[in-house]
Amino acid sequence: MYQCNGILLIDKNDGETSFDVVRKIKKVLPGIKIGHAGTLDPFATGLLVILLGQGTKLSSFLMVGEKRYRATVRLGVATDTLDPTGIIIDTETVPDFSLEQIKACAEKFVGEIEQSPPAFSALRFNGRRSYDLARKGINVELPKRKIRISSIEIISLKLPYFTFEVTCSCGTYIRSLAADMGKSLGSCAHLKGLERLASGGFKVKDGLNSGNIDVLKNDQCLQERVISLSDALHEMREVRLDKQTAKKIKNGLRSSLVELKDFQDLPEDWSGNIKLVCENNLVAVIWIKCKQAEKIKVFQ
C-alpha cells in the first residue's frame, strides 16, 4: 500500500460527524494514524482536512488559516443550540426586509469584533465541556473573544431565509454570527445550513466526496489524492537543506540551524514559522523569533 504521510481533502456529506469520516478512512487505510484539522457539525457539509500519518503533526499549522463558509439563516426562530438540531426557544414576526437591509446588517460585522461562543460548544467552562453543562440545563456564559470577519457577501434572500458567504478567522462560530445578525435586525434567528468552502488555501471543490471514500483502496487513486507534507504548507516560508544538514536535524542536532544561509538572511526582527525541506520532503518546521529558533517539530 502507498505510504500515507500528508493530508487528504474530503467533501463531507450532511448527517455525518467528522469522526464518522475518520472512521471510514481508517477502515480503508488500516494501521495509519488519522486525524482532522477542524471539526464540522453533523448538519454541516463541505471541506474536511484529513491528516494522515506524519500529517497529524500539521494540525496546529493548518488550523490557524482563514475559513470560508456558505451559511443559510432562518429568521424569526431561535433555538438553544443556535442551529437546526436544537429546541425552539423563541419566535418572532419577520418584517419584510429588503436585500439592502440585510446587506447593511452584514456590514456591521465585518472587521475585528467580539463574539460570544455558543453554550453548546466544545469549549471548556470550569474544567468541563460547555455542551455537557448546557445539556443539563446549567447556564453557561462563555467569555467573549476577538475574531475577524474579512468579508460577508449576501448570496440570496427569500424570507424568512437568507444565505451569505463569509471569510473569517479561525475560531469564528457561524452559529453565533447567524444569531447575532438576527438580533441586529430586530428579530431572532438560527443557522439553518452550513457548508465549509475553504480552509486556508484548500477548497472544497478539490475534495473527495465522503460517500466515495472506498476509491482510496486503489493505491493510484490514493497517491493522486494525498497532498505531501511540504505541499500542505504551501503558504509557509521555505528553506532548502542538503542531505547532510537534514540528517543532522533528524538526529537531534539543533546548532546546525544557525549555519543555514537563508536563516542568516532573515531580518533581525522577523518572526514566524519556516519549513525545512530536503529533496521536496519536509524535514522540520521551526518557529523563529529574532533569528533564534525557539521551537522545532521534526518529521521523520
Residues with catalytic function: 41
Whether residue 179 contacts residue 190, with contact meaning beta carbons closer than 8 Å, is answered with yes
The three state secondary structure string of the chain is CCCCCEEEEEEECCCCCHHHHHHHHHHHCCCCCEEECCCCCCCCEEEEEEEEHHHHHHHHHHCCCCEEEEEEEEECEEECCCCCCCCEEEECCCCCCCHHHHHHHHHCCCEEEEECCCCCCCCEECCEEHHHHHHCCCCCCCCCEEEEEEEEEEEEEECCEEEEEEEECCCCCHHHHHHHHHHHCCCCEEEEEEEEEEECCEEHHHCEEHHHHHHHHCHHHHHHHCECHHHHCCCCEEEECCHHHHHHHHCCCCHHHHHCHHHHCCCCCCEEEEEEEECCEEEEEEEEECCEEEEEEECC
Chain Cα centroid distance, residue 32: 22
d(CA 259, CA 271): 18
d(CA 229, CA 58): 8
| Cell representation of residue 264 | 542568516
